[in-house]
Structure 1
Amino acid sequence: MKRMEQKNFKKLILSGVLFVGLIAITFYLLFRKQNLGDLFQTLKLVNLMWVFIGVGCMFIYMCLDALNIKRILHILHQDISYFNCLRYTFSGFFFSSVTPSASGGQPMQIYYMFKDHIEISHSSLALLLNFASFQLVTITVAIISFLSEYRFLGDIGRTLKILLMIGVGVNSFLLVIVLMGIFSKTWSLKIVDFVLSLLQKLKVKQIEYLRQLAYDQIKKYQEGAVYIKTHQTRMGSVLLTTFFQVMAMHSVTYCVYRAFGLSDFSYLKVLSLQAILYIAVSAIPLPGAVGVSEGGFVMLFATLFPKMLIDSAMLLSRGISFYLFVAISGLVVLLGHLLIAKQNKKKEGLTS
């Protein structure tokens, strides 16, 4: 276990270095021709009330995510405190942000849940259902936004349109795979057999052991799916909560828009463009979609923000919705590890 933790720690360090490197390259490319003094001077003029509302929107986003995790775990007869669910949410946000394709988020959440005596089959099912709910809402909102703003988006450029199609396609594919994994035993077994046949061709050992492990996990998923089918009303409330969660996240850009004293465009228009941007960059396999998110913001919102404000607006928007909460969630993760270390020392003291 310790060897695995050391290996994961090394991977995290490498991901962190990549993350910091991407941020440095992104900001160099975006601001190399800018007067940074003027940029920060512009940021000093923003309406702080709207900035704090934007930060509040992100806190609402995190709190609603924790609420959904608690609800789903409760359906699976796992009694866990809301405080712990908040910890899972913040740790998921942090590790998703600093690892490519957000690959580190769910494994670390499962790890923390395991530490709290939640079975892996239950924690992984809860997170998959939460993920499916989030995917369904973000894809639906993005498609509706694109259709409603199609004329307005006529001049955004071919690159962003291609990214949008890729984003919708990849996220829809992931959603279908997750739902099949939870609710369709036949398709789940077919997918497992296909993946294992590929691994066998790559000379991977212990194929039968992996097969049995996967089959046992699928069996537990199916058992969990029975609970879900008998609690459809609660799952409906999870979807509704996810909708408000996504609205809160996308509202940050509107708060930034108002913080600069702008009001020509409506809340729905700004929110729609942000929904499109989010799904367009979400399929890019970079930590936190760093680089493409910043570049996409400048490209997509250039018609809403005056040219002299667009870079400052991007900096403030990403600062609130991403960088600030990477820092906050990183602090939560650090405090969590210190707490776990303290508890382990107490246990060692009792046994010695």
Structure 2
Amino acid sequence: MSRGNKIAAFTMVLLGVGIFAFEMRTVNVHAAIHTLATMNLWWLLLALLVMICSWVVESFVVRMFVEHDGERLSFKAAFRVPLIEQLFNNITPFASGGQPAQLVALMQAGVEGGRASSVLLMKFIVYQFMVLINFVLTLVIGFNQVASKFGPLALLIVFGFVIHVTVIVGLLLVMYYYSFTKKLVSWFVHVAGWFVSAERQRRLQAKMDEKIDTFYAESLHLKQAKAKVFKAAALTFGQLLLYYSVPYFVLRSFGIFHVSLVDVMVMHVMIVMIVSLFPIPGGTGGAEYSFKTLFASFVPGPAQLVLAMLLWRFLTYYLGMLLGGIALAVTPDRMYLTERKKME
């Protein structure tokens, strides 16, 4: 982990502490202590297990895509990948560091670089599709309820939806309309050339062509491995459901029993969609504000609301950073051959 990444991680922790301290300024200290003393730790433990299970399921997706011609990753090596992804997603703007970090983690486990890139690209495609499906379902189920709480900020949810749809449409265009997509992107680059130098335009065109060609080549693999893709999609859908359910168990730990699991998951999906629009790593600030805004009507007291926000944020954000840092220090197992492959 580079010095810059360490500084970024430390900065995000300090920023989180600052936000929590700011939120606690109006909370009665005795009420907060009483709330902590009377909370149900079993529900909190369940929230922790659900969060860890979501990473475990993601590690199964990694193993599934890596497995090829008798070669497999151990669970230890596969589980290390989503944890390292969490760390670098959470300390980089728009989670831009997660993909490169996963690539390095797979290569450290003995996966060849080109194949590791292919695995991550397939994983990314499946993940984006499942995020979109979850988001469409939540829009149908509870957008009006969320919009009534957010007011004008609900437009951010719509904007996030448009961005995800645009990404999916772009992926589908490359997969099924390769030539048309190259011409379309070339036209956009040509327009961009009106505002940049010819050399910069040339480099941009070459970079976009390379990315489109790479994705198209991997999309052919996806079409040939439909059974594997469907299994990965089902696992990813389950992984997301586990993740979206975390705040429900956090609220139950504070004795809040009148909440619906579906309602809480819908609101968590909306929070995640809004947070993804913030350039600050982890959407820090926006995430906490969104949580307080959406869940204020469910939580009776300010002490419970702030503490619930803190525990939710720790489980879904800071825990990933902590475990990701530990995973970085662990030497991964190398890929191995299955018994059947050894006998061949």
Report the TM-score, using the length of structure 2 for normalisation. 0.83
Root-mean-square deviation (CA), in Å? 3.1
The one of 203, 213, 236 aligned to 1:242 = 236
The one of 286, 289, 293 aligned to 1:292 = 286
1:45 aligns with 2:38: yes
Partners of 1:97 and 1:55 lie apart in 2 by 18
Is contact 1:90–1:332 with CA below 8 Å preserved after alignment?
A: yes
The one of 11, 15, 19 aligned to 2:8 = 15
| Corresponding residue for residue 349 of structure 1 | none
| Corresponding residue for residue 87 of structure 2 | 94
Is contact 2:147–2:154 with CA below 8 Å preserved after alignment?
A: no
1:158-189, CA deviations, whole angstroms, 9 ceiling, x for partnerless residues? 24312211221222222333444555432553
1:93-116, CA deviations, whole angstroms, 9 ceiling, x for partnerless residues? 110011111011101111222334
Where do 1:142-153 residues align within 5 Å? 142-153=135-146
Query: Judging changes above 3 Å, is the alpha-carbon distance between structure 1 residues 209 and 283 closer, same or farther for their aligned structure 2 residues?
Result: closer
| Corresponding residue for residue 275 of structure 2 | 281
Partners of 1:305 and 1:128 lie apart in 2 by 40
The one of 136, 161, 167 aligned to 2:129 = 136
| Corresponding residue for residue 346 of structure 1 | none
Unaligned regions of 5+ residues in structure 2, if any?
A: 334-344
Residue 156 of structure 1 deviates from its aligned partner by 0.5
The letter for the 1-side match of 2:25 is: R
| Corresponding residue for residue 301 of structure 1 | 295
| Corresponding residue for residue 333 of structure 1 | 328
1:177 aligns with 2:170: yes
| Bigger shift: residues 72-81 or 148-157 | 72-81
Partners of 1:187 and 1:238 lie apart in 2 by 29
What is the percent sequence identity of the aligned residues? Answer: 21
The one of 303, 311, 320 aligned to 2:306 = 311
| Bigger shift: residues 157-166 or 191-200 | 191-200
Residue 49 of structure 1 deviates from its aligned partner by 0.9
| Corresponding residue for residue 260 of structure 1 | 254
Query: Judging changes above 3 Å, is the alpha-carbon distance between structure 1 residues 155 and 201 closer, same or farther for their aligned structure 2 residues?
Result: closer
Aligned length: 331
User: SS in structure 1 opposite 2:330?
Assistant: helix
Is contact 1:137–1:239 with CA below 8 Å preserved after alignment?
A: yes
Partners of 2:4 and 2:197 lie apart in 1 by 24
Partners of 2:216 and 2:68 lie apart in 1 by 14
The one of 213, 217, 223 aligned to 1:223 = 217
Report the TM-score, using the length of structure 1 for normalisation. 0.82
Residue 67 of structure 1 deviates from its aligned partner by 1.1
Is contact 1:138–1:279 with CA below 8 Å preserved after alignment?
A: no
Query: Judging changes above 3 Å, is the alpha-carbon distance between structure 1 residues 81 and 182 closer, same or farther for their aligned structure 2 residues?
Result: farther
| Corresponding residue for residue 347 of structure 1 | none
